[in-house]
Amino acid sequence: MTKALALAPTQRITSPTDAPEFTHYAKSANTQLAYRKSWADFAEFCYAYDHRPLPATVPTIEAYIAWCADHNKPGTIDAKLAAISFAHRAARQPDPTSDIRIKTLMEGVRRRLGNRPAGKAALTNDLLARAIKALPSDTLRGKRDRAILLLAFTGAFRRSELVALTMQDVTQETTGLVILVRRSKTDQSGAGMTKHIPARKDALCPVAALRTWIKTAEITSGPLFRRVDRWGKVGKKALDAKEIARIVKRAAQAAGLDASKFAGHSLRAGFVTSAAMAGVDEWKIQEQTGHKSLSVMRGYIRATGRGARQAALRAFDKPE
């Protein structure tokens, strides 16, 4: 525990998730971890500059924002403020981040630093085809990676959703697969959603790729995607979500692309971008991705200018 958190017994809180009210908010494990890191950063700042972290004052938050602005993007600062806000609400203390002075200061920070998202590049359908072609087809790991890339793209899966899949979540149908996602980032209550994976008649068929992986790896139950060691032995535990990013980067590099521009999120962004540029209705894209908000989903489209050019060209078309 840092000195900054050595508070009076009635006000002591070592992290946002240590407050007794935490269970009421039911934050996900990833959010808990992010909040702990952000709170630790704020606590260290308070210790270094002689501020009290909880309850913090508006001037303390203003000073922290000014300090963060030297080495953080606006979006990162927003995330840190969310953790501070949560800590105060959980400890039943006034939330200093909700003050109008903080809102005004953050508007100024965004104007000065800009707030353009720095998302990874989308692995669109054409780039995906290149990556699939570059994968080895005669190795177990190559078969697994092919199934992961094609399924993740077609189903617009998040990494966490993909690695959580089990054999019991996959249902075979005449037209393809129906996959049950038992829990996701936007479905912490576990209501579940289904994703429909259609079969294709070419090398980019996710159904055929998944069947090949399952058959070759001799998986009959348990986790769908697993580790394959250097000797070709298939593990029993599910892949770590971070491994999806490594698989995407390896495939991108094999296809002659700059691997540093791609990550696990590139497949989900690639699906949204490709579908949008093909003229698919937004509600249909949203049904597959599971986004709760259209505006959030639109942020996944990595096709700046292409839609505008199409609109400009079609503006000259004669009405039917």
Catalytic residue set: 158, 185, 265, 268, 291, 300
List of residues 6+ apart from 33 with CB closer than 8 A: none
How many other C-beta atoms lie within 10 A of the C-beta of residue 270? 27
Distance of CA 156 to the CA centre of its chain: 11
State the Cα angle at 14 between 8 and 19, rounded to 5°: 90
The pairing of strands 226-228 and 193-198 is unpaired
| Structure-block tokens of residue 222 | 């348990």
3-state secondary structure of 320: coil
* Residue 262: closest CA among 72, 148, 75, 127: 127
Using alpha carbons only, how large is the chain's radius of gyration in Å? 23
- Read off φ and ψ for residue 124, nearest 5 degrees: -70, 175
- C-alpha torsion angle, residues 136, 212, 246, 224 (rounded to 10): -160
Helix (H, G, I), strand (E, B) or coil at 201: coil
At 309, list the tokens: 């050019």
Alpha-carbon distances of 186 from 28, 51, 60, 263, 265, rounded to whole Å: 10, 35, 33, 21, 16
3-state secondary structure 57-121: CHHHHHHHHHHHCCCCCHHHHHHHHHHHHHHHHHCCCCCHHHCHHHHHHHHHHHHHHCCCCCCCC
